Amino acid sequence: MRHAFPLLALALGLSICGLAFAEDTSAPLPVKHVQWSFEGPFGTYDRGALQRGFQVYKEVCSACHSLNLVAFHALAAPGGPGFTEAQAKAIAAGYKIPAEPNDKGEIFDANGNRLTRPGILADHFPPPFPNEEAARAANGGALPPDLSLIVKAREGGPDYVYSILTGFSHKPPTGFKVQDGKYYNPYFAGRNISMPPPLAAGSVSFADGTRSSVAQEAHDVVTYLSWASEPTLEERHRTGFEVMAFLVLLAGLLFLAYRKVWKDEH
């Protein structure tokens, strides 16, 4: 009787580990696990992957997905893709930013097009669509999410985004009905995703000459998006290491002081 309660609790606890998914072909597959240079307490971003990933974002993803929270000056900041300030400035200048009203108070030109100006370092990446409605209209009613935080905003983080990007190669199982206007991706909840497969081998020719397979493009753009979600990761790991070393030293000293004070008591 004495041990009944604890044993019951223990049994319940152990059986919780037996929790199993129901057999359900619309439940997503568990994500693929990939080695990332930035995982673990000493992780850093692979500079080459960041720059290639930026290229993938720019040439493929930015057609539909905004990156609203990332400023051009971040491209030159430490812990990031490592462009020089001049390079970041040139990248910024290549973008058209909706211009402030001109002296006549106009923001459209004679043809009804939005007036633009070249980007500067202080600008953020401009969105491909002016508002949510336009984005949906251009994408069959679906809203391509902003990618600034996508890696932190999804369970599974970079593994999840990588699995989605490389998951289009799976064919649906027999009997599985893919909804109209959607695509089969087994890593997506419900397995029907509105995004068409964005990556193909060779769709980006990397400036550094790396072979652009789908896996490579996915790996690099996920690295880039991980940086976009968490640009201070390297500084955080570095500071963390220093703080931990200090705290261990301090704890050690405090322990010795504690023992010294209590030596003759107790």
Which amino acid does the sequence have at 48? G
Assign 78 to helix, strand or coil: coil
**With respect to other proteins, which residue has the nearer C-beta, 156 or 197?**
156
Site string for other proteins, 91-130 (x = CB under 8 A): ------------x----------------xxx--------
For other proteins, the binding residue among 34, 60, 149, 215 (CB under 8 A) is 149
Q: Give the integer Cα–Cα distance in Å for 251 and 211.
A: 50
Q: Give the integer Cα–Cα distance in Å for 40 and 166.
A: 23
Q: Give the integer Cα–Cα distance in Å for 247 and 42.
A: 18
**With respect to other proteins, which residue has the nearer C-beta, 143 or 201?**
143
Assign 172 to helix, strand or coil: coil
Q: Give the integer Cα–Cα distance in Å for 152 and 78.
A: 21
Site string for other proteins, 240-259 (x = CB under 8 A): xx-xx-xxxxxx-xxxxxx-
Contact 178, 26 (CB under 8 A): no
Q: Is there binding between residue 262 and other proteins (CB under 8 A)?
A: yes
34 φ, ψ (degrees, to nearest 5): -120, 150
Q: Is there binding between residue 73 and other proteins (CB under 8 A)?
A: yes
**With respect to other proteins, which residue has the nearer C-beta, 38 or 217?**
38
**With respect to other proteins, which residue has the nearer C-beta, 102 or 205?**
102
119's tokens: 């980007």
Q: Is there binding between residue 208 and other proteins (CB under 8 A)?
A: no
How do 192-193 and 183-184 pair as beta strands?
A: antiparallel
List of residues contacting other proteins (CB under 8 A) = 2, 5-6, 9, 12-13, 15-16, 18-20, 41, 69, 71, 73-74, 77, 103, 120-122, 145, 148-149, 152-155, 157, 189, 229, 231-232, 235-237, 239-241, 243-244, 246-251, 253-258, 260-266
